Amino acid sequence: MKTLALFDAKNYDIDSFEKLNNGRYKITYYDTKLTMDSVSLAKDKDAVCCFVNDNINKEVIDKLVEYGIGVLLLRCAGYNNVDIEYAKDKLKILRVPAYSPFAVAEHAFALLLTLERKIHKAYLRTREFNFELSGLTGHCLHNQTVGIIGTGKIGQCFAEICKGFGMKILAYDPFPNFDLGYEYVSLDRLISESKIISLHCPLTEGTYHIINKENIEKMQDRVVIINTSRGGLIDSKALLEGLENGKIRGAGLDVYEEESDLFFEDNSHRVDIDDNIRLLISLPNVVLTAHQGYLTYEALYNIAETTLGNLDAYLKGEELVNEVKA
């Protein structure tokens, strides 16, 4: 029986993989992330599976190759944490390109609704039997202009939800799909004309800190920013400054650029949390969740199914439709 080392495994990952594995593979689950410090756990395994915050650098790739492992399974869509160029001709990289675009898009809109209708504040008040409405006045989304950066599957799902609320859509994508019927505009125009900006693009050299101090200055006053993609898309210091000076009315974040040592773990006992995220969480106009946009039963099922299917295809020598190539 072929063996699989699955890193950064949580109970919900184990449940979904065990239900779908049906004894196909001997899976060993590790709660630690895959890094140079933990890669030795993959020794004597036939395949390795990792997640979004594992660090697959040159050294880790060399070790996997040394152990005779030929395939790395990403149970996620993004692959910015993998040195794809270095892995070329050394390791097959297979991902899950579309586990549930609806899950992430719905979470992004939930963050937007929470901010615009102050649901988070109302929830805390009513738990203490405070039913006063002062300070809870919100904004209607109907007729608001939303700028969507990235019109892949998740961006498209988010756009459809926005349409249902009667919102005007501006879109930016370096590879526009005009068949979608969106009004594609330049990034500068989207930034300057949108009252709400939602990020649905991958993290690349070109998109790193796409929301930065310069672009924030171009935005309308009291803009709302939503990010459920990758934390590195936003310069967190610039975001914090914009929130504090009132340029940005609110931010709904499911990701954070320094999340790798924080998210998916209980850090309530730690005192060495970086100041940026401490300040962001403390602001009343910020709603931050810990990369849970994908976390639905449907998405977990699709992730496990596609990941195991990717391994099946690799071991059988079939076409690798989900391969990531440099």
Q: What Å distances lie between residue 55 and 144, 204, 232, 275, CA to CA?
A: 39, 16, 15, 23
Sole residue written with tokens 């709904």: 252
The catalytic position among 200, 230, 249, 257 is 230
Asked if 249 is an active-site residue, the reply is no
Backbone dihedral angles phi then psi of residue 70, each to the nearest 5 degrees: -110, -5
Quick one: tokens of 187?
A: 């990034």
Quick one: tokens of 155?
A: 């961006």
Exposure class string for 233-267: b at 16+ Cβ within 10 A, else e:
bbbbebbbebbeeebbbbbbbbbbbebbebbbeee
Asked if 291 is an active-site residue, the reply is yes
CB 264 within 8 A of CB 294: no
The catalytic position among 259, 270, 278, 298 is 259
Query: Alpha-carbon distance 279 to 261, whole Å?
Result: 17
Query: Alpha-carbon distance 198 to 200, whole Å?
Result: 7
CB 10 within 8 A of CB 265: no
Asked if 120 is an active-site residue, the reply is no
Active site residues: 230, 259, 291
